[in-house]
Chain A
């Protein structure tokens, strides 16, 4: 089985979010970048398929040279090779179109992407990629088994979960639950050394066009101070929620 794991290069979850250039660009100053957490669960599941079922695992990112340390980290975790599509995509549709070319050129059986990236939260790339490549698609995936060309997946739904049967080629949008968080892998020294020798292929973009444009960013208005209510006077809390906040 030939697996491709899509890796988003995103600000660490604790990053302060600021903007620059008239609030049109994300301010990268002082920001640590990581593998998108949803992708990290998928990468670890891909490693399981590699070790238990002999799958090959490539990773891919659509982005500039600054994303290469993130791809190297994925190689250090155990991916066989990496692909960087050399363009700075403007929206998820453009990313999906660029990835579709990689998937078609590489003849992948299974593509694992995160259900969404934690920066733009579009949640569109895996589904668009599936549709563009004609593959089956399951998102919010919290379990995945593959036997031959048949797959069984469990996905989270509102208020519960459902299990589905499908077949390869398949794209999944993975998330926490795909593997246990305790099973996520931290690159060790041997992995980091080996990653240096693994191929990281930079390919030209297909010059796909975006369908949307980001104009500017805004931050939420500063919040006022909390109104503290005495624990012995909860009538006051009920009163505030009813008369002031008007939420009960």
Chain B
């Protein structure tokens, strides 16, 4: 009756969220007095998982799974859960995992709690805390089915190292007709995505135009951060919609969110509430964002950001 965790990889390498969901699965397994089994798909090297509490790894290697298919991946995880007799299945909240989780829940006839923030406060009944109202509140939820699916909000639990010696075996589940065929993928491969990022650098209309985003990208580069933007910026076409943060855009649960030239509309603040530390740089001391921020700089972004880049470069050099 192990806890099963789906550990996502990209180009054979585990995403950071895979290690986070493994850490979470270990915490749940400890509470339940059981073990953790990870299911991997086309991962090149799975040895890292043992460092995060995984006891057993089911390796799925199949060229038909090279491109993501929610239906096929859900079928893989379902069959792994059934094979292991898993009572709890943990997935991340990446775009792909959010896509497959509802299909998996129906397949397992399992209750599904998404956007979960913490380890269960109780395992009987199985009680979790999740975000609701676009991060304006939390909802304490019990999952009442025999099998449970938990979607862990990215960056909420963190990485917890835990030495274990994992056994590994090949697993060859039956794949269904996918029904959906990927024709093309348009993805920047050399930048950090908002979903994976621990730090997000976001800018708004205060930047005055798309030509001024160079310094935002440079700041993000120094910090190893993802870039993001406010809704007006995406509406104006200065930046792609995939960078739009807010109630109708992407939620951000980063460790550090730096907002530059963003006034802080309620819909934007809802999207970033789950971030732990917020820094605001804005010329207007009355900007509502200052009320939501931990640290603030009242000043012109065109002066503050280049200076901050230099200070951070010096800090990085001194702490390398």
Contacts and interface: CB of A to CB of B under 8 A. Distances in A.
13 contacts: A13-B267, A123-B114, A157-B95, A160-B185, A162-B186, A176-B241, A216-B140, A217-B132, A218-B129, A218-B140, A220-B136, A237-B308, A237-B311
B125 to A, nearest CB: 8
Interface of A: 11, 13-14, 17, 19, 37-38, 91-93, 96, 118-128, 130-132, 136-140, 142, 152, 156-167, 175-177, 181, 210-220, 223-224, 226-231, 234-235, 237-238, 240-242, 245, 247-248
B184 A158 contact: no
B112 interface: yes
A118 B137 contact: no
Given A159-B187, A234-B304, A139 B141 contact: no
A223 B292 contact: yes
A139 B180 contact: no
Contact of A137 (B103, B138, B294): B103
Contacts of B183: 152, 162-165
B103 A130 contact: yes
B102 A160 contact: no
Given A118-B133, A126-B102, A164-B181, A142 B279 contact: no
Given A158-B195, A161-B186, A214 B103 contact: no
Contacts, number: 257
Contact of B315 (A19, A228, A238): A238
Nearest to B74: A131
Contacts of B181: 164-166
A230 B248 CA distance: 33
B246 to A, nearest CB: 9
A124 B70 contact: no
Contacts of A218: 129, 137-140
A127 B107 CA distance: 11
Chain A contact residues, majority secondary structure = mixed
A240 B298 CA distance: 16
B131 A17 contact: no
B248 A38 contact: yes
Interface in B102-120: 102-103, 105-107, 109-115
Interface string B210-222: 0000000000000
A176 B111 CA distance: 28
Contacts of B101: 124, 127
Interface of B: 68, 70-71, 94-96, 98-103, 105-107, 109-115, 127, 129, 131-134, 136-145, 179-189, 191, 193-196, 198-199, 223, 235, 241-242, 244, 247-249, 255-256, 266-267, 270, 273, 276-277, 279-280, 290-300, 303-304, 307-308, 311-312, 315, 319
Nearest to A134: B179
A230 B112 CA distance: 47
Nearest to A211: B111
B141 A212 contact: yes
B111 A91 contact: yes
Given A124-B105, A176-B241, A176-B249, A237 B295 contact: yes
A161 B242 contact: yes
Return the 9 tightest CB-CB contacts between A and B, nearest first. Answer: A127-B102, A160-B187, A211-B111, A231-B299, A159-B193, A131-B106, A247-B256, A136-B179, A158-B195
B29 to A, nearest CB: 21
Contacts of B273: 220
A137 B280 contact: no
Contact of A142 (B134, B194, B241, B255): B241
B132 A137 contact: no
Contact of B133 (A121, A130, A160, A226): A121
Given A158-B94, A227-B296, A248-B223, A119 B241 contact: no
Given A164-B180, A166-B179, A156 B242 contact: yes
Given A121-B132, A226-B294, A228-B296, A157 B185 contact: yes
A128 B103 CA distance: 6
B194 A212 contact: no
B292 to A, nearest CB: 7
B102 A120 contact: no
Q: Which of A132, A177, A237 has the most CB of B within 10 A?
A: A237
Given A13-B247, A91-B111, A158 B196 contact: yes
Contacts of A119: 132-133
